[in-house]
Structure 1
Amino acid sequence: MSALSFCLQHQDPSSKARAGIINTDHGSIQTPIFMPVGTVGSVKAVSQQQLQDEVKATIILGNTYHLYLRPGTEVLQAAGGLHRFNGWNHPILTDSGGYQVFSLAGNRKLTEDGALFQSHIDGSKHMFTPESVMDIQRVIGADIIMAFDECPPYPSNYEYARKSMDLTHRWLSRCVNRLAETPDLYGYSQNLFPIVQGSTFADLRKASCEYISSKGAVGNAIGGLSVGEPEEMMYELTALCCENLPEDKPRYLMGVGTPWNILENISLGVDMFDCVMPTRNGRNAMLFTSKGVINIDNKKWEKDFSPIDEGIDCNFSNYYSKAYLRHLVKAKEILGLTIASIHNLGFYLWLVKQAREHIIVGDFQRWKNEMIPVLKTRC
């Protein structure tokens, strides 16, 4: 059993993009990486075997809020943790549930101690504290555990953003202390990533980066972005955070985003991404491809018997035709949701793999600038 480690392997000469490798007790992760979101212990409409064999995922996410409510920590502990419960034998990262709790708005109360909230399932009341969230994530058994934070809404005024950031920092210290007091479960290392907050204010973001960096964690996350602010503002704040976070630790930008968002943020120095977009949009007939964005519901695809995407090295996306997938979507056949979701996830993993290869070759910035207009094209 050993703590998570990160090896920085290559730096693009014309940008801040970098390629590295994260080592965990459940396997290694080549960066930059996209992590499929498996909120309740599964990526919607996709099996673990498909994630491994078709999507080529090397790490997935779970969510503390949802897994705590259902199936609950008693079941997860009896199973021996989420890896054994869902059969995923590769790394898992768990979001602390902070974003979900704070998005409940009228159904939660925030205090210095933590957050009192009502379950969206049955209305029952629960309390999350930094300590309890660390304990829950221990039981879930994630390789990477996220600190409990407050994600302020956009827009927020300066005073609210400052108070929110300070509270996140105080909670982080409690998270660190709790993990130091408790052992890893299930015989492998569980590693904490703190989260930078500060809303859209540069001085707060810089102060937050400095504070969480002082904790000496094995990796760091950037939170509170992609919550409604303009894209250019997201890029500016991400660049600021990357400049003020340790170079020798992985950087995780939470909840981002579109394929072009990912490439732009890779160029700024981000290593890890997650987003529900590939599966959520796939279930609503939107496909991301190497030639642009497709609404597979459109009649223009009715007799298009070409593969979903010949431009990516994914057997799955080359096996089914656009016409067949459109037929499944129009017929509301469940298989259509699965094919669309697997394709989109496979595309995202292909994209970050391509980014990594261009970083290693040394022409990432040129490739990125050529690729983004294509990715934004509406086919």
Structure 2
Amino acid sequence: MLQFELLTTDPASHARRGQLTLNHGVVQTPIFMPVGTYGTVKGVMPRSLHDMGAQIILGNTFHLWMRPGLDIMKTFGGLHAFEKWDKPILTDSGGFQVWSLGAMRKITEEGVTFASPVNGDKLFMSPEVSMQIQTVLNSDIVMQLDECTPYETKGHLTTEREARTSMEMSLRWAVRSKNEMERLQNPNALFGIVQGGMYLNLREESLQQLVEMDFPGYAVGGVSVGEPKEEMLGIMAHTPHRLPAHKPRYLMGVGTPEDLVEGVACGVDMFDCVMPTRNARNGTLFTRYGDLKIRNARHKTDHQPLDTSCTCYACAGSSGVAWEQGGREGFSRAYLHHLDRCGEMLGPMLTTVHNLHYYLNLMREVREALDVGQFAAFRARFKAERARGV
């Protein structure tokens, strides 16, 4: 089940405010979706995800197929009960993970043959197999199996001919994914994925043919695969707003806070990216006033929180009162620097909470700005504050 209601639009851009109703709950858009590859968002308790306002999270079809496997997942009736998450879940198709295996996989029209990265077993994934796995996972949003068109192929930039071949196979796989979902009588929502590399004419062809297939929702894939930022922004500016206005639009694997705000301006409703969690584990934190590297020596004696305006547990403690409003219960930069230097696991747990809270709060502020017709002013203020620096 999927229902999408368009609540308001921004007259100066393609930004829009919506509400997405799925089998396991309602999602307010635009939204950022934390990535939970193995059935967990790394280092974060499910309760913390609820507390910070996560409305929908991701699961990874490929990795959950490898471990714990479908036999175990069936005994729980799907991923929700297995990981104790009662809100919506989106699962990717496994296509990106198979693509990233490189020489370990062979792609044909039928599907992908590859060696398991877990035990070396020979495995096969097709559009049908991907739909069967995602049906067992019982995710609210299912992604079609596609081939992720690389930016470079065998040492050279992917040509238009190579990108076309890949895009056209993804379209055929979209048909097979849709047919298999119908055969399985899976009631969850299947999204088609626009491909075409960096070629706008191919993106347009892919988009038009997917729209004719009438999917419940659409995604833009094949970005953040090594291309220069300008080219990614070009696809983002071209494609999302051309998708049907009455259906949700998802930009896959993107990105920085700046990418999210610009993506909203381009008509995107849904985002996911490992950046907030991965960067947190590597000591890079996102704040209202720019990025902060907690490993820098200048933080060794700093009593301030990561972000004086932030109300996450790391910055404000259980009081939820920001430093700027007189709150003093959060953890200092000096303490987080110390935890990182000592390799204590509490360090990345706290920084992950902070980064995810920042992303989710950013999307909440975007929604609030759209609600009152102030998105343009918010966008300008956001850019100015981020450029100011920590």
Which range, TM-score by smaller chain? over 0.9
CA contact 1:278–1:345 (8 Å) conserved in 2: yes
The offset of 1:314, in angstroms, is 3.0
2:261 match: secondary structure: helix
Match of 2:327 in 1: none
Q: Deviations over 1:299-324 (max 9, x none)?
A: 21112112222213434422222111
Match of 2:192 in 1: 194
Match of 2:257 in 1: 259
2:340 pairs with one of 329, 333, 338:
329
Q: Deviations over 1:41-74 (max 9, x none)?
A: 0011111111112x22010000111000000011
2:276 pairs with one of 250, 273, 278:
278
How far apart, CA to CA, are the structure 1 residues paired with 2:137 and 2:271? 21
Identity of aligned residues (%): 45
Unaligned runs of 5+ in 1: none
For 2:118, the aligned partner's letter is I
Which of 229-238 and 206-215 deviates more? 229-238
Pairs within 5 Å for 1:105-120: 105-120=102-117
How far apart, CA to CA, are the structure 1 residues paired with 2:22 and 2:111? 30
How far apart, CA to CA, are the structure 2 residues paired with 1:59 and 1:153? 28
Pairs within 5 Å for 1:15-34: 15-34=13-32
1:212 matched to 2:214: no
The offset of 1:145, in angstroms, is 0.2
For 1:152, the aligned partner's letter is T
How far apart, CA to CA, are the structure 2 residues paired with 1:376 and 1:228? 25
How far apart, CA to CA, are the structure 2 residues paired with 1:4 and 1:321? 43
1:174 pairs with one of 173, 176, 183:
176
Q: Deviations over 1:271-303 (max 9, x none)?
A: 000000001000001000111100011121112
Unaligned runs of 5+ in 2: 153-157, 317-329
For 2:59, the aligned partner's letter is G
2:36 match: secondary structure: coil
2:65 pairs with one of 59, 64, 68:
68
The offset of 1:266, in angstroms, is 0.7
Match of 1:356 in 2: 367
CA contact 2:313–2:354 (8 Å) conserved in 1: no
CA contact 1:151–1:224 (8 Å) conserved in 2: yes
2:291 match: secondary structure: strand
Which of 218-227 and 366-375 deviates more? 366-375
CA contact 2:14–2:241 (8 Å) conserved in 1: no
Which is bigger in relative contact order (C-alpha 8 A, separation at least 6)?
A: 1
The offset of 1:80, in angstroms, is 1.2
Match of 1:91 in 2: 88
Match of 2:147 in 1: 150
For 2:356, the aligned partner's letter is L
For 1:171, the aligned partner's letter is W
Equivalenced residues, count: 372
CA contact 1:293–1:377 (8 Å) conserved in 2: no
CA contact 2:79–2:137 (8 Å) conserved in 1: yes
Q: Assess, with a 3 A threshold, how the Cα gap between structure 1 residues 58 and 243 changes in structure 2: closer, same or farther.
A: closer
1:214 match: secondary structure: helix
The offset of 1:232, in angstroms, is 2.4
Match of 1:233 in 2: 231
For 1:76, the aligned partner's letter is M
How far apart, CA to CA, are the structure 1 residues paired with 2:294 and 2:207? 42
How far apart, CA to CA, are the structure 2 residues paired with 1:48 and 1:174? 35
Match of 1:103 in 2: 100
The offset of 1:230, in angstroms, is 2.2
How far apart, CA to CA, are the structure 1 residues paired with 2:126 and 2:388? 45
How far apart, CA to CA, are the structure 2 residues paired with 1:210 and 1:140? 30
The offset of 1:366, in angstroms, is 2.6
How far apart, CA to CA, are the structure 2 residues paired with 1:282 and 1:234? 24
1:130 pairs with one of 127, 131, 141:
127
How far apart, CA to CA, are the structure 2 residues paired with 1:331 and 1:315? 21
The offset of 1:330, in angstroms, is 1.0
The offset of 1:363, in angstroms, is 1.9
1:369 matched to 2:380: yes
1:14 matched to 2:17: no
Match of 2:326 in 1: none
CA contact 2:241–2:268 (8 Å) conserved in 1: no
The offset of 1:369, in angstroms, is 2.5
CA contact 1:355–1:364 (8 Å) conserved in 2: yes
CA contact 1:260–1:376 (8 Å) conserved in 2: no
CA RMSD of aligned residues (A): 1.2
Match of 2:44 in 1: 46
CA contact 1:312–1:350 (8 Å) conserved in 2: no
